[in-house]
Structure 1
């Protein structure tokens, strides 16, 4: 049965694809900056590469995982819900937050209510979860630097951009959490993240684990490619803890780490171009892969046992 409306843009004009997307949404977004592109339409474009996709293409992941996750979107988790809900109240854009007034979601009626909210694209929350998200948003507004970077009078949330990579010709994309509307002088792009620990030590580990240096380099290149900023453009992370007092830390990535991120991005772009051209998305390889001990363990054990 054909859907009544496009699941991305809401248009009732058909025809619709098997995924419930109208003919217009089935086309990749045009190059340039989009101020009103939905999150669903942004992520639906499989012809372009994003920062998170670039990180998924490189070790310890691989192109096969990247391709699988493109075709099989991951189900919502509480961590994912909290991050999206905080984005909604802090940035002012995102899915609706819907209170489910029950301490336990263990009855058929409540489960059906939660499922219906998710089917409509919303985020179901318990009262204590809603209170937490509202307190986090208040803590952001109380932090002078974070509040200035996210001032609604001088910027807008969820701006998407698409451009062509010169060396490979592939489409690249970016979705800025927040883009300043006044772009005279140096462009500072804030990116909001929630964390269990917002200290510099903890975020340094997160940079290594999640490749945030690659993200910083990607977004800075995006701003230049879209004529939003110059070579001095910088991404700053607004990191906020999810437990009281919901501390906020504004953190930048140093130059050398960003340059490493830029080089890794280039390797991922080349890999994406190769996979797109061949239709082959490799896993870990067809030959044995040999690994060494971590350096500190090798140094410790060779002194003791060799």
Structure 2
């Protein structure tokens, strides 16, 4: 790749370059931070493109292709979409067309999916235009903007789906789902999988632009008809916990890089009996006493 980036800033670069980590030193992304927190430094090192050169490439699925194409249509930026005129990848011709599209950096979609993703994008955009919580999405800004910043001696990076020019406006992240976009069903997923993303990106935006943005807006779009949309944003309690998580991940990342030590899980985890098991044991003891008394 070209020369490494040595200066904090907001950049425009291909997705592949971003995911390969263009920073002068191995950098921390939100996804690597989540692995650090949820698993271990050993897992984070294994998943990092600069620290594990033997990392296996992930297999691209048709659902992933659809999501990538939807991003392209909603954001106006990304890989070109190529229709594979077939109803399945059964024939050699269809498989060859798919593989050729991917080798050319394009997104292959079977005819049905090609038509559906264009319909989906149109319906999703129309809903977003009618929502006040998506107004800043359509304001002047940049799609797939790459933020690179330094925090306490470590490099951090993030690719933002939509970064409005107004530094106070919320950052947008678009997520397609093959299931439901109902906020009730996304509650746990937001807490588990995405809670650090808002605070991590907000930190980068403030360092680079000098102002705290509003909390992120996660636009969740159903990829099956009727293509309903929900918009989620982290509340103050979740943001507070996420702030601590981000700081912890950055400290841990910096320590591991400095020492070049990447430990796995801690030694000897002591497992306590959960409350439900203690209650179950108490109830069983009461039943045993009652049975003994009856006899």
TM-score after normalising by structure 2 = 0.84
Q: Give the superposition deviation at 1:242.
A: 1.7
* Distance in 2 of aligned mates of 1:305 and 1:131: 59
Name the counterpart of 1:18.
Answer: none
Deviations 1:160-219 (A, max 9, x none): 1111113xx001112111011244xx3221211112221121111111331x22111111
Matching residue within 269, 274, 283 for 1:289? 269
Deviations 1:140-175 (A, max 9, x none): 221112663321x52220111111113xx0011121
User: In the alignment, does 2:35 pair up with 1:51?
Assistant: no
Deviations 1:246-270 (A, max 9, x none): 1111111101101111111111111
CA contact (8 A) 1:29 1:162 kept: no
Deviations 1:93-131 (A, max 9, x none): 111211111112123332222222212222211111112
Name the counterpart of 1:213.
Answer: 195
Name the counterpart of 2:291.
Answer: none
CA RMSD of aligned residues (A): 2.1
User: Rg bigger for which structure?
Assistant: 2
Name the SS of the counterpart of 1:226 in structure 2. helix
* Distance in 1 of aligned mates of 2:108 and 2:244: 40
* Distance in 2 of aligned mates of 1:272 and 1:142: 42
* Distance in 2 of aligned mates of 1:42 and 1:293: 45
Name the counterpart of 2:216.
Answer: 235
* Distance in 1 of aligned mates of 2:69 and 2:40: 30
User: In the alignment, does 2:94 pair up with 1:115?
Assistant: no
Name the counterpart of 2:45.
Answer: 67
* Distance in 2 of aligned mates of 1:222 and 1:56: 19
Q: Give the superposition deviation at 1:54.
A: 0.6
Indicate the structure with greater helix content: 2
Moved >4 Å (runs of 4+): 292-295
Name the counterpart of 1:264.
Answer: 245
Name the counterpart of 1:165.
Answer: 151
* Distance in 2 of aligned mates of 1:123 and 1:57: 31
* Distance in 2 of aligned mates of 1:275 and 1:98: 43
CA contact (8 A) 1:100 1:124 kept: yes
Name the counterpart of 2:4.
Answer: 27
Name the SS of the counterpart of 1:234 in structure 2. coil
Structure 1 gap ranges (5+): 1-20
CA contact (8 A) 1:54 1:268 kept: yes
* Distance in 2 of aligned mates of 1:63 and 1:239: 30
* Distance in 2 of aligned mates of 1:155 and 1:69: 31
Name the counterpart of 1:154.
Answer: 140
Q: How many residues align?
A: 272
Q: Give the superposition deviation at 1:298.
A: 2.9
CA contact (8 A) 1:213 1:261 kept: yes
